[in-house]
Amino acid sequence: MEVIYEDNHVIVVNKESGEIVQGDKTGDAPLSDFVKEYIKVKYSKPGNVFLGVTHRLDRPVSGLVIFARTSKALSRLNEMFRTGEVHKTYWAIVKNRPSQTEGRLTNWIVRNEKLNKSFAYDHEVKDSKKAVLDYRLLASGDNFHILEIRLLTGRHHQIRCQLAAMGCPIRGDLKYGARRSNIDGSISLLSRHVEFVHPVSKQRIVLDAPLPKEPLWKKILNRE
């Protein structure tokens, strides 16, 4: 865990793949616990530390996660996420180059709870939710490409599902059609950039996550 930004109301950390944001049925220690411990030690906080989870990233995904340090910040951030006032940009390594270098994907997604997987359709079906994202080709290497993605809706496994439906599964994402897993069990999807107006100070916050340690990211980007 790496702290990217912090103040009295908000803390933003860089999540590594494999970490879970909030406790789940696995019983593994979540990222939120590590952030609480960090705050407790750094600021010598007695007793329980308040920390609000404002959003999640899938376990195999890395990148920026925003936590609230006060109830005031939590309620305001929750509303900002709901109304689309927090702007997040993702980078993904994909095997196949999209037929168009940029575009908007619109699908209707159905979540299967039992399989923990989403399925994309090109038309509305029963129990589906509309999913929209914009993408553009950022860089190309010999065998892989990096796409930049901006979500316009927030659905279960949305980026993974929609890119796979386009014929561009994310590297390492076996669940959505990748041929091989990544050595560390991650998928090559990064929550790269976030912009929002601070819920209390009203200052504009603009943050970038560092690239993962996997050298392929820099190799592809340096080709451009």
Task: Look at residues 75, 82, 77 and name the one whose alpha carbon lies nearest to residue 65.
Answer: 77
The DSSP secondary structure of 28-52, one letter per residue, reads PPPHHHHHHHHHHHHTT--SPPP-E
What pLDDT does 93 receive? 98
Residue ranges in the chain whose pLDDT is less than 70 = 223-224
| pLDDT tens per residue across span 15-70 | 999 999 987 777 788 999 999 999 999 999 888 999 999 999 999 999 999 999 99
What pLDDT does 28 receive? 84
Q: What is the CATH number of the domain that holds 159?
A: 3.30.2350.10
Where do we find the tokens 């095997």? 95
Our CA angle for 162, 98, 19, nearest 5°, is 45
Q: What is the pTM of this model?
A: 0.93
Task: Look at residues 118, 59, 104, 90 and name the one whose alpha carbon lies nearest to residue 189.
Answer: 90
**Domains in the chain, number:** 1
Q: Do 10 and 67 touch, CB atoms closer than 8 A?
A: yes
- Determine the residue type at 195: E
Q: Which domain holds residue 43?
A: 2-221
Q: Do 155 and 106 touch, CB atoms closer than 8 A?
A: no
Q: Which residues lie across from 189 on neighbouring strands?
A: 92
- Determine the residue type at 17: S
> Please, what's the b/e burial string for 31-46 (b: 16 or more CB within 10 A of its CB; e: otherwise)?
bbeebbebbeeeeeee
What pLDDT does 224 receive? 52
Pairing of strands 129-140, 145-151: antiparallel
Q: Say which residues have a Cβ less than 8 Å from residue 102's Cβ, sequence separation at least 6.
A: 134, 135, 136, 137
What pLDDT does 1 receive? 84
